[in-house]
Structure 1
Amino acid sequence: MNTAFQSLVDHFGGQLQTAEALNVNQGAVSNWVRGKHGMSPAVALRAEKLTEGAFTRYQLCPSVFETPPQDEVAS
């Protein structure tokens, strides 16, 4: 199953590179990909910024960022 987390890992070129870019350990990245744990809001915001919005906080942490504000939705 290709999730947003696996796509994020692909974007950075691997779990270790993703962990280094987001300043987390590789085990955390593995847990996201395997669905064991979700991503924290702070890391989701960091990922959104580092990927210039290719991966949004809404995709990566939907339990906190449920819906984008109306002024952020593309028309």
Structure 2
Amino acid sequence: MQALYKDLVKHFGGQKLTAIALGVSQANISGYVSGRWNMSELIAMRAEKATDGKFKASDLCPSLKEFQKLTA
């Protein structure tokens, strides 16, 4: 999961720019990248939209992946 968050940060060009794009603090982005916490459903959906689908919300947020399994 951390590698995916790092790729997301690379996509935007840094933690601060990622934070701005997703409407969160840079501290939140740092927490994702370091593995302190996972991305929420809302932020994961923002990331998918902000990257035009390059990063899927269900890949960024474990609970969305679980939800997909239950509804499939």
Greater helix proportion: 2
Q: Provide runs of 4+ in structure 1 moved above 4 Å.
A: none
- Give the Cα–Cα distance (whole angstroms) in 2 for the partners of residues 53 and 29 of structure 1: 19
Q: Does 1:25 align with 2:39?
A: no
User: Percent same amino acid among aligned pairs?
Assistant: 45
Q: TM-score, length-normalised on structure 2?
A: 0.86
Q: Which residue of 1 aligns with 2:64?
A: 64
Task: Report the number of matched residues.
Answer: 69
Whole-Å Cα distance in 1 between the matches of residues 11 and 43 of structure 2? Answer: 16
Kept in 1, the 8 Å contact 2:19–2:25? The answer is yes
The answer for unaligned runs of 5 or more in structure 2 is none
Instruction: Tell me which amino acid in the other structure corresponds to 1:3.
Output: A
Q: Could you tell me the TM-score, scaled by structure 1's length?
A: 0.83
User: Looking at CA atoms only, which structure, 1 or 2, has the larger radius of gyration?
Assistant: 1
- Greater relative contact order (Cα 8 A, min sep 6): structure 1 or 2? 2
